Amino acid sequence: MITVESALETILKEIKPLDVESTGILSSLGRVLGEDIKASRPNPPWDNSAMDGYALKAEDLERASDAAPVSLNVIYDLPAGQVPKGPVKNGEAVRIMTGAPVPDGATAVVMVERTERGPGGTVLIKAAARTGENIRRAGEDFNAGETVIKSGALIRPAEVSMLATVGAPFVFVHKRPRVAVLSTGDELCDIQEVPPQGKISNSNGYALSALVAAVGAEPIWLGVARDTKESLREKLEIAMKADCIISSGGVSVGDYDFVKDVLKELGSEMIFWKVAMKPGKPLAFGVIGGKPAFGLPGNPISSMVAFEQFVKPALLKMAGRKAVFSQTFSALLTKDIKIKPGRMNFIRAELKMEEAGFEATPLDGQGSGVISTMVRANSFIIVPKDSSGFKAGETVKVQPFDPSILLREKAWY
Ligand code: AMP
Ligand code: MG
């Protein structure tokens, strides 16, 4: 048996990021940037006003107060989108709007709330101003030539904002991995049918397709291969047109477990492992025609756990991501965990992110076919290979797998 760590390292060594393609900024959300984005101009492009108010010389206001306002001549109005008509001199002010360029000579903007219109085109300023007050400096965000987003970044709304700011209507993003998903097993029945005696619904095909979609890759559903080498070969030959292949079932040591043999026949540099983990021990991994192929275990939870630990980082790397490993957190264990040492255990758990810290509760029903536990869980408690468990109150390592963990039913305040 090999360890989870060395299986993951061996897999990732074989994975290369996919090529890049051009996409419009509006379709770039959720994609992975395939180029460094450099700014060709500074932001802000010029000093501009952060407030509606008056641009003036701060030195004119040294003695200004409520009781003794300073009167300045308003020389013109400056709405956003226009350019200054001339410099500001001592004794003068420009009525300026938020975002308008600060006129030459002005050293501060006083917000309109601290002023009052005076007689004959004057303004009364009732407080002193700091030099630079309410002025957003050119380049305080970034300067021309700066790299503002690095290749490999996930494009979130913030990156879309940045791309728009630097004027990038098109960007290079990594191609989304197209992942062929197939199930194996004579016992599998399509979900539209009521399973006859001896058959079960093919849940893995849908679960794995959903997992693929959840990491931003594109699942291509190839259906069910029967438990014969011919049927498997037929499906896998089609699957080789995708960027990555995932199958479930048929990787154990049963009489009908042919996945590893057929992958080998198709020219895969085959690696078949028993990984020292629970659930999810049997795992076939190979590279056929440059495409990674994962033979995941058949038990529903085993296949989902194996996906989280091995396929997800591989797909993220193919998609161009630099950060591919799931984050783990330390949490306070609320119930004892007792297990047989020898394999790394991934215990389905409910992680609560309380203000006071993280709390993890292992759930009842850890069998590798118990889907209801997976539905209630949002994370795995990771029990190291040689550990026999933990006592309530100890600190454990938890790996959340559910993005909705960031939302809660009650307001946060
Ligand atoms: P196998 O590794 O093929 O022996 O499968 C192990 C267990 O997982 C058996 O109980 C199978 O019935 C079950 N199984 C295999 N494939 C699927 C699937 N696609 N959906 C649900 N259960 C499956
Ligand atoms: Mg089977």
Check which CATH number belongs to the domain holding 167 and give it: 3.90.105.10
- Per-residue pLDDT tens, the chain, 413 aa: give them: 899 999 999 999 999 999 999 999 999 999 999 999 999 999 999 999 999 999 999 999 999 999 999 999 999 999 999 999 999 999 999 999 999 999 999 999 999 999 999 999 999 999 999 999 999 999 999 999 999 999 999 999 999 999 999 999 999 999 999 999 999 999 999 999 999 999 999 999 999 999 999 999 999 999 999 999 999 999 999 999 999 999 999 998 899 899 999 999 998 886 778 899 999 889 999 999 889 999 999 999 999 999 999 999 999 999 999 999 999 999 999 999 999 999 999 999 999 988 889 999 999 999 999 999 999 999 999 999 999 999 999 999 999 999 888 888 888 89
Q: Whose CA is nearest to atom 16 of ligand 1?
A: 298
Residues 169 and 181 in one domain: no
In this structure, the number of other CB atoms found within 10 A of the CB of residue 26 comes to 9
User: Is 350 among the domain residues?
Assistant: yes
Residues 203 and 346 in one domain: no
Note down the domain range covering 169: 21-37+144-174
Q: Whose CA is nearest to atom 5 of ligand 1?
A: 298
Residues 398 and 353 in one domain: yes
Sign of the CA dihedral 79, 83, 88, 92?
Answer: negative
- The alpha carbon of 248 and the centre of ligand 1 are apart by a number of angstroms equal to 7
Residues in CB range of 323: below 8 A, 6 or more apart: 316
- The pLDDT value recorded for residue 267 is 87
Beta-strand pair 70-78/92-96: parallel
Distance of CA 18 to the CA centre of its chain: 18
Q: Which ligand is nearest to the CA of 185?
A: 2
Residues 297 and 193 in one domain: yes
Residues 150 and 209 in one domain: no
User: Is 413 among the domain residues?
Assistant: no
Q: 131: which 2 tokens?
A: 């030099």
Q: Of all atoms in ligand 1, which is nearest to the CA of residue 254?
A: 4
Domain limit, last residue, from 299, 318, 337: 318
Is there an atom of ligand 1 within 6 Å of 183 CB?
yes
Domain limit, last residue, from 295, 318, 341: 318
Residues 272 and 378 in one domain: no
Q: 363: which 2 tokens?
A: 């759930």
Residues 131 and 55 in one domain: yes
User: Is 324 among the domain residues?
Assistant: no
Q: Whose CA is nearest to atom 10 of ligand 1?
A: 299
Residues 107 and 55 in one domain: yes
User: Is 411 among the domain residues?
Assistant: no
- The alpha carbon of 249 and the centre of ligand 2 are apart by a number of angstroms equal to 5
Q: 263: which 2 tokens?
A: 């992958």
- The pLDDT value recorded for residue 270 is 63
User: Is 323 among the domain residues?
Assistant: no
Residue of 190, 201, 248 best suited for mutating to test ligand 1, as the one with most atoms within 8 Å of CB: 248
Q: Of all atoms in ligand 1, which is nearest to the CA of residue 252?
A: 2
Task: Tell me which residue has tokens 């949002």.
Answer: 378
Burial of 113 (0-12, 13-18, 19+ CB in 10 A): exposed
Residues 106 and 226 in one domain: no
Beta-strand pair 135-136/92-96: unpaired
Residue 380: which CATH number? 2.40.340.10
**Which of 179, 176, 141 shows the shortest CA–CA distance to 155?**
176
Is there an atom of ligand 1 within 6 Å of 188 CB?
yes
User: Is 412 among the domain residues?
Assistant: no
Residues 298 and 356 in one domain: no
Residue of 181, 184, 204, 371 best suited for mutating to test ligand 1, as the one with most atoms within 8 Å of CB: 204
Identify whether the C-beta of residue 168 lies closer than 8 Å to the C-beta of residue 25: yes
Domain limit, last residue, from 152, 174, 196: 174
- The alpha carbon of 320 and the centre of ligand 1 are apart by a number of angstroms equal to 32
Distance of CA 161 to the CA centre of its chain: 16
- The pLDDT value recorded for residue 317 is 98
User: Is 43 among the domain residues?
Assistant: no
Q: Which residues surround ligand 2, an ion (CB under 5 A)?
A: 185, 249-250, 298
Residue 90: which CATH number? 2.170.190.11
Using alpha carbons only, what angle is made at residue 242 by residues 237 and 246, rounded to the nearest 5 degrees? 80
Residues 184 and 163 in one domain: no
Residue 282: which CATH number? 3.40.980.10
Using CA atoms, how far residue 337 sits from 329, 345, 367, 376, in Å, is 18, 11, 14, 18
Q: Which ligand is nearest to the CA of 368?
A: 1
User: Is 273 among the domain residues?
Assistant: yes
Residues 122 and 150 in one domain: no
Structural domain total, the chain:
4
Q: What is the pTM of this model?
A: 0.93
Residues in CB range of 214: below 8 A, 6 or more apart: none
- The alpha carbon of 185 and the centre of ligand 2 are apart by a number of angstroms equal to 4
